[in-house]
Structure 1
Amino acid sequence: MLPYWRLSAYYFFYFGFVGAFSPYFTLYLQSLRFSATDIAILMSLMQVMRILAPNLWSWLAEHLGVPVSILRFSAVASLAGFSVFFFTTEFTGIFAGMALMAFFWSAALPLIESVTFRHLGRDSHRYGNIRLWGSVGFVVAVLGMGHALDHLPIASVLWMTALILAGIMLCALGVPEATHAAVQRNGASLRETLRRPEVRALLGACFFMSAAHGALYVFYSIYLVDNGYGKALVGWMWTLGVLAEIAVFLFMPRLAKRFTLRAILLFAFAAAILRFVLIGWGVGSLPVLVFAQLLHGATFGAYHAAAIAAVNLWFPGRLQARGQALYGSLSFGAGGMVGGLLSGFTWDTIGPAWTYTLGSAFALAGFVWLLRGWRQGVPGTEVHE
């Protein structure tokens, strides 16, 4: 029997942490008088560890056969790493705490994705209905903290975020191991899978999509506050994007029946090209910013659902955890690190508008790679979810 609510609860708190940490921890760092470069370096540690650690964790999960046990350990260790922030405001101390937290935190997403698909088996089309609870958790966290921070000191970010991490830890204890193996679709090895041009095109394009979002995740809240918007509105803007994401997750089973995964991904990349230009040059217009945030439904919701479905199809059986880890490492890890670090260096030099325009250039590069590398009509690539 599918443990729907236990998996959904984990996603709720996991992305609740993202909703608390990504928009508001940068404001906390700014309150400590760190420079844009320092903030980018600290936040990029989350991406750096997503490059290094997920493959280690997935290898352990594959060889030990206990992904949920590793998931539980990562939850406890992540909270321990975050606790360092309560005892220091120095760059070196926060750097150490961030590195520790990120190393264990990076184990979570590829493992829970793998466990979820193992529980789903042939019902993988139900993934979106479980994953949308993560988006709900993000909305609850980002809205609640946005309003709270209009009345509480910015340092309150620490204890509110720690409570969410504690929620993750409790939910991890309730996630059961899958009682059956993932459905075996073929006996291809990891090396053989990676030789396929459409697989390389997908992973390369995902790198550029995450790089395109680098400035958004590091500086968007700072960008809005610096341009006169209140913290509550910042929370609503993040929420608007996630509401669009939830809508896409709800309709994804229908979309996947009408359009190929390739077509959905190409549309998502085209939306990203437009979105970041609008954010960069339209900050003075709230309607423009609202429209740009609605595009998050495509640039993350449709993109992630289609990408992870393709990974699930192309990395079957025992390769599943490795495939999810590789996807996370190259996209959220390497791509997010490059995009975040580069935005830190360009923010104070060429300015925010051109920094976000650079994000559009990354999205364009991903669009071209995907279009040329994943050929339409090639057998085995025009997959529907």
Structure 2
Amino acid sequence: MYWRLSNLYFWFFALLGGLLPYWSLYLEGQGFSYLQIATLMATIQLTKIVAPSLWGWLGDRTGQRVRLVRFGAITGSLFFAGVFLEPGFYGLLLVMLVFTFFWNAILPLYEVITLRVLGARKDKYGKVRLWGSVGFVGAVGLVGALLEWLPIEYLPWLLIPVFAGIVVSAFLVPSDRGEPKERAPKGSLKAIVTHPAVIAFFAMNFLLQVSHGAYYTFFSIHLEQHGYGKLSIGMLWSLGVVAEIVLFLFLHRLTKRLSVRQVVLGALVLTMLRWVLIAELTAVIPVLIFAQLLHAASYGVLHAVSVQYVQGFFGKHHHGQGQALYSGLTFGGGGALGAWMSGFLVDGYSTAAAFWGGAAAMVVAVIVTWWGLKPPPDQA
């Protein structure tokens, strides 16, 4: 069961590994402006505002999460094929919106499946999830090496085998017969969402994803402007995820010794440092390597803690909608806003200015966390 759970994480994040580091370079090669690139990259996050909530609601109501994951995998793959029609800016915007609407349904549903299968062994989540990081690293390295030999316009073709892997792995997840519908869910969803600690949690994660807008949209272009080749860019992206893998192996020890608030505050401060270093010392390779190792804090720690935080506050009866809200409000709303804001900063100033904007967002996130974040009931 461990390998069957890990398999979909591997392929899902392998697609991100082939997409995120190189898609902005592909769009630049297609002749799009920085604002157009920011808009197109924002669609990857934008549909997370609606899609996870809708699919999470369907998963909670029907109990058919595995079937919904399979449907999202197949439909998302089919719509991505619209990229090959070379539809221009508005056509590609539509393709990306529809493709990501179905593709973004997969992960929040699968997080619920994984945690329910693990049950009392939820501390093993990190070891399951780390295979997503392995898939990301493998795809970044392989695609980066191929793009040293192939023109960047071949990128969509290189992603086709990864889409096939996602579809196949979705059908390796054991079929579910569906869970009984809850006629009267225990606890009020509104009461949970309006809890001050939950508001602080969502605000912190929203700001975190705003700060990542420059990274996911312009990091590769920023590196290319400083003379790095595509393979070097891929290796730097991979380095951050390798640090994340190591972190997942030891995270359970960290969370047993420190409170949720302490872990989150430490990770936020390190994230702020990361953006400052990338903005100002990109040409200094040892510093850039250190900044990429901090990905273990800016993504690895905060995501793993957040997934379990949602489970602790939302409980069994609202777990799916809780994960959907986490994905939609933070990765969706925060990620899309961060991408657009970084586009304006790059267009008006420079890529470094966009990373300074991310650091400023982290200052606010630290204040919000210090003021309002409290542990969920099962960790209090």
- TM bucket (normalised to shorter chain) is over 0.9
Counterpart CA distance in 1 for 2:203 and 2:176 is 31
Shift of 1:187: 3.4
Q: Secondary structure at the match of 1:155?
A: helix
Match of 2:52 in 1: 54
Q: Counterpart in 2 of 1:255?
A: 254
2:357 match: secondary structure? helix
Closer, same or farther in 2 for the Cα pair 1:233/1:217, shift >3 Å?
A: same
Report how far residue 366 of structure 1 moved. Answer: 1.2
Paired residue for 2:345?
346
Q: Is the contact made by 2:282 and 2:288 (CA closer than 8 Å) also made in structure 1? A: yes
How far 1:178 moved relative to its partner?
Answer: 5.8
The residue type equivalent to 1:125 in the other structure is D
| Counterpart for residue 66 of structure 1 | 64
* Residue 4 of structure 2 corresponds to residue 9 of structure 1: no
Quick one: which amino acid aligns to residue 245 of structure 1?
E
- Cα offset for 1:315? 1.2
CA contact (8 A) 1:81 1:97 kept: yes
Q: For the residues of structure 2 that align with 1:277 and 1:257, how far apart are their CA atoms? A: 30
Tell me if 1:331 matches 2:330.
Answer: yes
Q: Secondary structure at the match of 2:171?
A: helix
RMSD after superposition? 1.8
Q: Which deviates more from structure 2 when the two are superposed, residues 351-360 or residues 130-139?
A: 351-360
Q: Deviations over 1:112-160 (max 9, x none)?
A: 1011011111111010000000000000000111111000111221111
CA distance in structure 1 between the aligned counterparts of 2:153 and 2:201, rounded to whole angstroms? 40
**What SS does structure 2 have at the residue aligned with 1:174?**
coil
Counterparts in 2 of 1:260 and 1:251: CA distance versus 1, 3 Å: same
Query: Quick one: distance in 1 between partners of 2:41 and 2:318?
Result: 30
CA distance in 2, matches of 1:38, 1:379: 40
Alignment of 1:1-385 (within 5 A): 3-177=1-175, 187-375=186-374, 380=377, 383=380
Identical amino acids, percent of aligned pairs: 40
Alpha-carbon distance change, 365 to 382 in structure 1, aligned in 2, over 3 angstroms: farther
Amino acid in structure 2 at the alignment position of 1:147: A
Change (3 A) 1:379 1:289: closer
Q: C-alpha displacement at 1:214, in angstroms?
A: 0.5
Amino acid aligned to 2:339: G
The superposition leaves residues 295-319 of structure 1 with CA deviations (integer Å, 9 ceiling, x where unpaired) of 0001100111111111111111121
CA contact (8 A) 2:34 2:347 kept: yes
SS in structure 2 at match of 1:34: coil
What do residues 59-113 of structure 1 show as CA deviations (whole Å, max 9, x unaligned)?
A: 1111121011111000011111110011115112211110110110110110010
Does the aligned pair in 1 maintain the 2:79–2:98 contact within 8 Å?
A: yes
SS state of the match for residue 292, structure 1? Answer: helix
TM score, norm. by length of structure 2: 0.96
Supply the AA of the counterpart residue of 1:153.
Answer: P
Would you say the 8 A contact 2:64–2:177 is kept in 1? no
User: Unpaired segments of 5 or more residues in structure 1?
Assistant: none
Q: 1:158 to 1:178 in 2, by over 3 A?
A: same
Describe the shift of the 1:224–1:290 C-alpha distance in structure 2 as closer, same or farther (beyond 3 A). Answer: same
CA distances 1:8-35 after superposition (whole Å, capped 9, x unpaired) = 0100000000000001111111101100
Q: Which piece of structure 1 moves more, 131-140 or 96-105? A: 96-105
Residues 125 and 177 of structure 1: is their aligned pair in 2 closer, same or farther, counting only changes over 3 Å? farther
Distance 1:117 1:365 in 2: 31
Query: Aligned pair count?
Result: 377
* 8 Å CA contact 1:265, 1:307 repeated in 2: no
Q: Which moved more, 1:256-265 or 1:206-215?
A: 256-265
Distance (Å, rounded) in 2 between the aligned partners of 1:177 and 1:117: 16
SS, match of residue 32 in structure 2: coil
**Matched letter for residue 189 of structure 1:** S
CA distance in 1, matches of 2:94, 2:161: 21
Partner Cα distance (1:66, 1:379) in 2: 27
Distance 1:239 1:135, change over 3 A: same
Q: Which amino acid aligns with 2:222?
A: Y
* Corresponding letter in the other structure for 1:270: V
**Aligned counterparts of 1:239 and 1:275: Cα–Cα separation in 2:** 16
- Maintained 8 Å contact 1:32/1:89: no
SS at match of 1:317: coil
Partner-residue secondary structure (3-state), 1:122: helix
In structure 2, the residue corresponding to 1:318 is in which secondary structure?
coil
CA contact (8 A) 2:62 2:178 kept: no
